[in-house]
């Protein structure tokens, strides 16, 4: 059977996973009576809720007696390392571009990785059914991007297909009337245009994991392409480790992919994308070889973390009320288990009760926190900090490429805010009252910026960013919050009477009846300093009838704080307490008097 190995790459939310759904359906992979949900490749609850792909997924379809292996890749910059490694497993890519948004920062990033790896592109212009779709201009943008990235002449002659993945229609013409049901146009182009895997069937075995998975029965699983030879179940093979040493092991399981199922197979040959289990600490970039014929493949580059946070045991007075898992040992076990399948995550002990967790970005780390919370963990986490590096004697920090789409009326505010954060404008153009800004900004300047950006643009702004490189450290950054916070000075339940009396002091984060403790952040102060307040005070009861007795207290709605907003919001002397039920922001020093003494010493 002929094989094709392809990856689907795109900017976040341009429709990769929905397109995979429709390719699976068009190829007849599902039975007619099979109940298939939307975005079927997103297996994790958070992926389904947020509509994003976090981990790359492998699937395969049988079309016209050809096996097409498809890798659905993440679109977010925080998970870009997976995209880079996947390029070593495939011979072609479907570059999906939104028919209205056109090329975005991640489109550039993923296409650059594909061109560097020398794989063949097919351009898929998705969401052609959008009322504001502009397919012809978008193709011009894609062509400019190819030229800008130094593509070869033959790569510029890429085939184009236009589709609406959500409606399951496609065509080779940009005209909306020419759309036909089914994705056969794309599948036929893959067979016609994509090369077969460049592999050696006759040679000794060479298999290199580019992705990791883990399950409790077989341990760590390496997913990758068999580059040469064949591998059989129960065969004794060698693994050339990252440090050059050799470890022998027995192949315990080989899994192939078909549709949504991972199927056990007894052998795999060159050109197959499979998952192999048997070596408990197999790592990305190592080479599995025939015993006695060890020849390592070039190492794969793994992106270094750029942000770190401290994860620690919950030390608040409410510890253990809402979560089942609260000990340092359990938190450490869970973090180590996460590193089994996520090579971009690094964990180092900080002290007996806390760990420094380093990752690719705020989203990367906040998704780990969210997963742990849902599993019943209670923990406290610090504000994300950048990871600095010394390069040629100069202290450097990570910088990001930022693209912003914003209505024209808010442009001045955005330019001023990014100027304060040491942002360097690269480009600016306006189309029909929408302005597109391109910036290079220190990662440190973006921590805490998202919430401010959404407020500043009244929710109409779109911001995307991707890691650019390390550069000399920026001088002074306005990275911290402008306003102080309102901090509870008592334990108990918040009362409507107390909150009503504090409303003119700032914006509240809690409502009446919320349990609070001393040192917990209950609101934002109107001024720059922190203010200790009593939110549990009740009304003094007397036997005198007052004229206003029957007036109830009407309070403004408290500000809702999600996990990402909390992480953006806190300062260095604050923590976020995360439990299965709630997020609370608190001061590191809970006692009001001790905190005042500490602040005065600063």
Grade residue 551 by pLDDT with cuts at 50, 70 and 90. Answer: low
CA distance 84 to 116: 10
Range scoring the smallest mean pLDDT among 61-65, 270-274, 422-426:
61-65
pLDDT recorded at residue 515: 93
Q: Has residue 595 got a pLDDT over 70?
A: yes
What is the β-pairing status of strands 346-351 and 273-277? unpaired
Q: Are 595 and 587 in contact (CB under 8 A)?
A: yes
Q: Which residues contact 392 (CB under 8 A, 6 or more apart)?
A: none
Q: How confident is the model at residue 36 (pLDDT cuts 50, 70, 90)?
A: very low
Segment 550-558 shows an average pLDDT of 73
**Residue 335: per-residue pLDDT:** 92
Q: Please state, in angstroms and rounded to a whole number, the distance separating the CA atoms of residues 55 and 372.
A: 16
Q: What is the mean pLDDT of residues 102-125?
A: 84
Q: What is the DSSP letter of 520?
A: B
- Sequence-distant (≥ 6) Cβ neighbours of residue 7 within 8 angstroms: 70, 71, 73, 83, 86, 87, 89, 90, 92, 93, 94, 114, 119
pLDDT at 45: 55
**Percentage of the chain lying above the pLDDT 70 cut:** 90
Residue 547 has pLDDT above 60, yes or no: no
Give pLDDT, residue 432. Answer: 77
Dump pLDDT digits (tens) for 301-310: 777 788 899 9
Out of 393-397, 553-557, 564-568, 572-576, which region has the weakest mean confidence (pLDDT)?
553-557
pLDDT single digits (tens) 490-535: 999 999 889 988 888 999 999 999 999 999 999 999 998 899 999 9
Q: Is the dihedral of CA 561, 565, 571, 577 positive or negative?
A: positive
Give residue 258's pLDDT band: very low, low, confident or very high (50, 70, 90). Answer: confident
Question: What CATH class is the domain 2-193?
Answer: alpha beta
The contacts of residue 222 (CB under 8 Å, 6+ apart) are 207, 209, 211, 212, 275, 276, 277, 279, 282, 283, 284, 286, 288
Q: What is the DSSP letter of 412?
A: H
Alpha carbons within 13 angstroms on the beta-carbon side of residue 218 total 19
Which band of pLDDT confidence, cut at 50, 70 and 90, is reported for residue 35? Answer: very low
pLDDT of 152 reads: 83
Question: To the nearest whole number, what is the mean pLDDT of the chain?
Answer: 84
Rounded mean pLDDT of 29-52? 45
The pLDDT tens digits for 404-451 are 888 888 999 999 988 888 888 998 888 778 888 899 998 888 887 877
Q: Is the pLDDT of residue 311 over 90?
A: yes
Provide, for the chain, the percentages of residues in helix, strand and coil under a 3-state DSSP scheme, each rounded to the nearest 5: 25, 35, 40
Q: How many CB atoms are closer than 10 A to CB 258?
A: 15
Tens of pLDDT, residues 315-346? 999 999 988 889 999 999 999 888 877 778 89
Instruction: Tell me the domain boundaries of the chain.
Output: 2-193, 206-290, 307-386, 389-472, 485-601
Q: Is the pLDDT of residue 31 over 60?
A: no
Domain 485-601 has CATH 2.40.50.250: yes
Instruction: Give the pLDDT of residue 52.
Output: 52
Token output for 97: 């571009």
CATH topology for 389-472? Alpha-Beta Plaits (3.30.70)
pLDDT at 139: 92
**Average confidence (pLDDT) over 469-497:** 84
What is the fold of 307-386? Alpha-Beta Plaits (3.30.70)
Q: Are 208 and 200 in contact (CB under 8 A)?
A: no
Could you give the CA distance from residue 567 to residue 544 in angstroms, rounded to a whole number? Answer: 48
What pLDDT score was predicted for residue 509? 92
List pLDDT tens digits, range 582-591: 999 999 999 9
Read off the pLDDT band of 42 (50, 70, 90): very low
**pLDDT per residue as tens digits for the range 141-157:** 999 988 888 888 888 88
Nearest alpha-carbon partner for 82 in 54, 61, 105: 54
The burial of 33, by beta-carbon neighbours within 10 Å (0-12 exposed, 13-18 middle, 19 or more buried), is given as exposed
Residue 566's CB: how many other CB atoms inside 10 A?
23
pLDDT in tens, 4-15: 899 888 887 777
- CATH H-level, domain 206-290: superfamily: Translation factors (2.40.30.10)
Averaged pLDDT, 124-149: 89
Arithmetic mean of pLDDT, 108-124: 86
- Distance of alpha carbon 188 from alpha carbon 195, whole angstroms: 13
Q: Which of 412, 421, 423, 422 is nearest to 457 (CA)?
A: 412
How far does CA 76 lie from the centroid of its chain?
5
- Quickly state the pLDDT bin for 356 (edges 50, 70, 90): very high
Fold agreement between 307-386 and 389-472: yes
Q: Is the pLDDT reported for residue 171 higher than 80?
A: yes
The dihedral built from the CA positions of residue 282, 287, 289 and 292, taken in this order, carries a sign that is negative
pLDDT digits (tens, 9 = 90+) for 234-248: 889 999 988 888 889
The better pLDDT of the pair 552, 540 is held by 540
Q: What pLDDT sits at residue 41? A: 43
Residue with tokens 């002091």: 505
pLDDT at 32 over 90: no
């Amino acid at each position: 059977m002929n094989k094709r190995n392809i990856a689907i790459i795109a900017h976040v939310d341009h429709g990769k996973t929905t397109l995979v759904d429709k390719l699976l359906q068009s190829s007849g992979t599902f039975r007619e009576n099979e109940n298939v949900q939307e975005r079927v490749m997103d297996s994790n609850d958070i992926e389904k809720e947020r509509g994003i792909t976090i981990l790359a997924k492998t699937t395969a379809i049988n079309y016209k007696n050809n096996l097409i292996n498809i890798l659905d890749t993440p679109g977010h910059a925080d998970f870009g390392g997976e995209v880079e490694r996947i390029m070593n497993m495939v011979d072609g890519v479907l570059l999906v571009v939104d028919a209205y948004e056109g090329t975005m920062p991640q489109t550039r990033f993923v296409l650059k990785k594909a061109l560097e790896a020398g794989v063949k592109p097919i351009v898929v212009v998705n969401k052609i059914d959008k009322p504001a779709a502009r397919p012809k201009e978008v193709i011009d943008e894609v062509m400019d991007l190819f030229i800008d990235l130094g593509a070869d002449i033959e790569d510029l002659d890429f085939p184009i297909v236009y589709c609406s993945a959500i409606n399951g229609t496609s065509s080779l013409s940009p005209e909306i009337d020419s759309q036909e049901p089914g994705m056969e146009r794309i599948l036929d182009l893959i067979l016609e245009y994509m090369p077969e895997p460049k592999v050696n069937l006759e040679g000794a075995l060479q298999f290199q994991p580019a992705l990791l998975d883990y399950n409790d029965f077989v341990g760590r699983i390496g997913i990758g392409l068999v580059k040469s030879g064949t591998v059989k179940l129960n065969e004794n093979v060698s693994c050339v480790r990252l440090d050059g040493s050799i470890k022998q092991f027995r192949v315990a399981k080989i899994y192939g992919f078909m549709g949504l199922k991972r199927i056990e197979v007894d052998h795999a040959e060159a050109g197959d994308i499979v998952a192999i289990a048997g070596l408990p600490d197999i790592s990305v970039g190592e080479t599995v070889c025939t015993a006695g014929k060890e020849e390592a493949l070039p190492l794969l580059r793994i992106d270094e973390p750029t942000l770190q946070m401290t994860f620690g045991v919950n030390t608040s007075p409410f510890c253990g009320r809402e979560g089942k898992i609260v000990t340092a040992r359990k938190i450490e076990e869970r973090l180590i288990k996460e590193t089994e399948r996520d090579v971009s995550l690094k964990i180092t002990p900080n002290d007996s009760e806390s760990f420094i967790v380093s990752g690719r970005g705020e989203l990367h780390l906040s998704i780990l926190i969210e997963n742990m919370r849902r599993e019943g963990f209670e923990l406290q986490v610090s504000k994300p900090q950048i990871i600095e590096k010394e390069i040629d004697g100069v202290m450097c920090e990570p910088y990001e490429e930022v693209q912003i789409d914003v209505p024209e009326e808010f442009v001045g505010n955005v330019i001023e805010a990014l100027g304060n954060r040491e942002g360097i404008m690269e480009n600016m153009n306006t189309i029909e009252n929408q302005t597109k800004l391109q910036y290079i900004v220190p990662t440190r300047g973006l921590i805490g910026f998202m919430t401010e950006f959404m407020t500043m643009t009244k929710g109409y702004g779109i911001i995307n960013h991707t890691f650019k490189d390390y550069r000399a450290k920026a001088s002074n950054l306005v990275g911290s919050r402008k306003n102080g916070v309102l901090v509870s000075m008592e334990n108990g339940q918040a009362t409507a009477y107390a909150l009503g009396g504090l409303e003119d002091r700032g914006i509240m984060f809690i409502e009446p009846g919320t349990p609070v403790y001393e040192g917990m952040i209950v609101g934002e102060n109107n001024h720059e300093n922190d203010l200790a307040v009593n939110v549990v005070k009740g009304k003094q009861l007397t036997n005198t009838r007052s004229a206003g007795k029957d007036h109830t207290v009407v309070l403004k709605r408290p500000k809702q704080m999600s996990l990402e907003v909390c992480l953006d919001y806190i300062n260095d002397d604050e923590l976020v307490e995360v439990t299965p039920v709630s997020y609370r922001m608190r001061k590191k020093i809970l006692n009001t008097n001790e905190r005042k003494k500490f602040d005065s010493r600063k």
